[in-house]
Amino acid sequence: MATTARSKARRRSKAAADATAADSTAADTTATAAAAADATGSTIDERVRVGARRRVVLEAAAPEVDAGRFPAKRVVGDVLLAEVDAFGDGHDHVAGVVRFRHEADEAWTEAPLRELGNDRWVGEVPLTRQGRWHYTFEAWVDHWDTWRSDLAKRVEAGQDVAVDLQIGASHVRAAAQRASDASRLEAYAAVLERGGEDAVAAALGDELDKLMRGVPDRTHAATYDRVLDVVVDRERARFSSWYERFPRSASPDPKRPGTLQDLRAELPRIASMGFDVLYLPPIHPIGREFRKGPNNSTEAAAGDPGSPWAIGSAEGGHTEIEPGLGTLADFAQLVADCEASGLELAMDLAYQCAPDHPWVAEHPEWFRHRPDGTIQYAENPPKKYQDIYPIDFETDDWEALWLGLKGVVDTWIERGVRIFRVDNPHTKAFPFWEWMLGEVHRERPDVLFLAEAFTRPKVMYRLAKLGFNQSYTYFTWRQERWELEEYLRELTSPPASDVFRPNFWPNTPDILTEQLQEGTRGTFVARLVLAATLSSSYGIYGPAFELMESVPAKPGSEEYLDSEKYQVRWRDLTTPHSLEEVVRIVNRARHEHPALQRNDTLRFHHVDNDRIIAYSKRSIDGTDTILTIVNLDTYWRQSGTVYLDLAALGIEEDETFSVRDLLGGATYQWKGGANFVELDPAVLPAHVLHVRGHGHRDEHDFDPYDG
């Protein structure tokens, strides 16, 4: 029975082989024959046949987000380290390439894969432009390299290699067929054919090897199952320092509310602190129906300004400006002044409506209606938010809704805005975000969206996958060393780090943590330093932060007392106890030190006192290293020994190195991994240390695969 199967198969296979060598008519005939054979169930399926002689396996590519369903994220200038498992059967060697192209290019570029060990390979993709890039892998059995490596072993063992040199010559002759200039290869083939010591020397020499590597036999190359994507943003997506400011509180005169013009006057102060993004809560007309009064009371007095997030009134909706703040002309001037000050303006994008928002009348079908004829206001039973109508993403009119919502973004982009801070994105439908962010980024890859979602972890990561460029985090509530370390490890490793760019905020208008309520000046400084050095993007809600405001609306609440969300606040920004100078120093360190401008090189170092946390970051080229040490205790001086992972700092075991404190100014000479530190929150709770070895280490590239 087996014999019959064999001889039948043999005949069939002969036909197929002939067809391969022949023209397309013959190939068609074979296909027909194969289809006929398939019907009898006794031959091999066409899908199998295609890959039958692809002996190399490619699997487990990285970065790869959800099997390629979403792109990974990088910024311009990054080199994408594209990894893959590649191996063949038996002991034959493998070679391969990463193939890549920018979405706007037709042609693919290739870079060689190099082996990292344990069948893991990497290729480097220089990401030179914003936008979407595609990449995939190809690999093949490298008969030349296998043969050459075996030859070396045979020669070393003193074996007769006469026949082997003939085999090598045939590899070279075949390669000459594939080469554009065959002459050198043909000459080498002749040398190998002549045999003897010259042939061995040529075979094991560099020149022939280089020629051969240039024309590999890729007939049976395997390709990776998927083409993967990476979205390349501008650098601010990775490195940004945010300052949040309510314009209506920016008045220099305590007797009247602030305006956009007042905010223009404050720009020098904000810029001088070293921020690069100025984020404004909504500046649109505020609804009058069910307007909230001070401290979130349901009764608003005549002059109460209401919550900026209750958007829309007779004066207009999401594309208009609250008349009390100014005009579109004022806004244009603010945008221009920001640019001149090295600041970018970030707009709030809160997709919800006050009851008197124009959309409520124009598009009643975008909201949910109740049997009593009213429109459903926002609720989290038993809590009611009657000044806000949420949007109904299940509406039959969803297409017009989506286009309308995107229209808001388009309008502000046209007015010069490139950054949006999106309010509560987790309460809007995911398909909408994927579409909207995708459309905007396709047209304008330089537009950045920050997701304000403090919700369940998987929801937050999903929003990042859908296209948000940055995301709020749980940092605000991570206060103990173990939880900071655990959370940062999660954020700075795949899968999270491939898609989720954290933005750390010690406070927001919604969150005055219990730690800050009970904290000292040292607590505010420690939280500032942690946010600004653990994460390459961070922000503060000011001037509440630098003035160390700490009184909650009531005991047990994380709301501020007399919150700016519901009333205008005036402060004396010139008070000498302000943290402005500390903020300035911290932001200067961030600007001057590339180590602090990324998160992927973060390493924690052990301290034998768990009230002290220590961690380092390095620039990719290894020339800049920052070691940060923070006392996490609110009140007490803490001391301990830091056990440094010297390799992570680029320092040799026996090397003397200097650490200069960018906060306090002192410089210390250290040697070896164990170093004593003492930090007093009443003085300065942190060291931000610039680490410099005295050896000649600066030229060493940082190796992301080391440690």
Within residues 55-114, the interface with a copy of itself by CB under 8 A covers 55, 57, 59-60, 66-69, 85, 87, 89-91
Q: 106, 197, 371, 665: which one contacts a copy of itself (CB under 8 A)?
A: 371
* Residue 517: closest CA among 570, 555, 461, 480: 555
Nearer to a copy of itself, 90 or 555 (CB): 90
Smaller CB distance to a copy of itself: residue 461 or 643?
Answer: 461
Q: Total number of residues binding a copy of itself (CB under 8 A)?
A: 91
CB-count exposure of residue 473 (10 Å: 0-12, 13-18, 19+): buried
Q: Is 410 in the site for a copy of itself (CB under 8 A)?
A: yes
Task: From 195-203, 428-436, 512-520, 622-630, give the range in contact with a copy of itself by CB under 8 A.
Answer: 428-436
267-326: which residues touch a copy of itself (CB under 8 A)?
A: 319
Give the contacts of 141 (CB within 8 A, at least 6 positions apart): 55, 56, 88, 92, 93, 94, 220
Please choose, from the candidates 446, 462, 453, the residue with its C-alpha nearest in 3D space to the C-alpha of residue 424.
453
Among 458, 554, 577, 696, binds a copy of itself (CB under 8 A): 458
Greatest pairwise CA separation for the chain in angstroms: 103
Q: Toward a copy of itself, which CB reaches closer, 393 or 474?
A: 393
Of 394, 653, 699, 701, which lies in the binding site for a copy of itself, with binding defined by CB under 8 A?
Answer: 394
- Binding segment for a copy of itself among 424-432, 527-535, 549-557, 610-618 (CB under 8 A)? 424-432
Q: Which of 398, 474, 604, 643 binds a copy of itself (CB under 8 A)?
A: 398
State the Cα–Cα distance between residues 283 and 412, nearest whole angstrom: 12
Q: Is 160 in the site for a copy of itself (CB under 8 A)?
A: no
Phi/psi of residue 276, each to 5°? -125, -5
Report the distance separating Cα 354 and Cα 360, nearest Å: 8
89/701 with CB nearer a copy of itself: 89
Select from 14, 194, 256, 700 the one that contacts a copy of itself (CB under 8 A): 14
Cα angle, residue 398 at apex, residues 394 and 401 outer, rounded to 5°: 120
Describe the strand order of the beta sheet including 625-631 as a list of residue ranges. 667-671, 656-661, 686-693, 625-631, 612-618, 603-607, 638-643, 674-679
How far apart are the C-alpha atoms of 20 and 31, rounded to whole Å? 11
DSSP conformation class of 476:
G
What residues are labeled active site?
A: 423, 452
**Which residues lie across from 639 on neighbouring strands?**
678
The closest alpha carbon to 596, from 667, 665, 537, belongs to 537
- In the shown chain, the binding pattern of residues 635 to 674 toward a copy of itself, with x for contact by CB under 8 A and - for none, equals ----------------------------------------
* Nearest approach, Cβ of residue 320 and a copy of itself (Å): 10
HEC sequence for 321-357? CCCCCCCHHHHHHHHHHHHHCCCEEEEEECCCECCCC
Selected from 171, 236, 248, 428, the binder of a copy of itself by CB under 8 A is: 428
Q: Which of 32, 128, 170, 493 binds a copy of itself (CB under 8 A)?
A: 170
Tell me which residue of 533, 468, 510, 445 sits closest to 103, measured CA to CA.
445
Please select the residue that binds a copy of itself; options are 210, 253, 361, 370, rule is CB under 8 A. Answer: 370
- Binding mask of the shown chain, residues 220 to 259, with x at each position contacting a copy of itself by CB under 8 A: x----x----------------------------------
Among 26, 62, 81, 167, binds a copy of itself (CB under 8 A): 167
Q: Which is nearer to a copy of itself, 414 or 653 (CB)?
A: 414
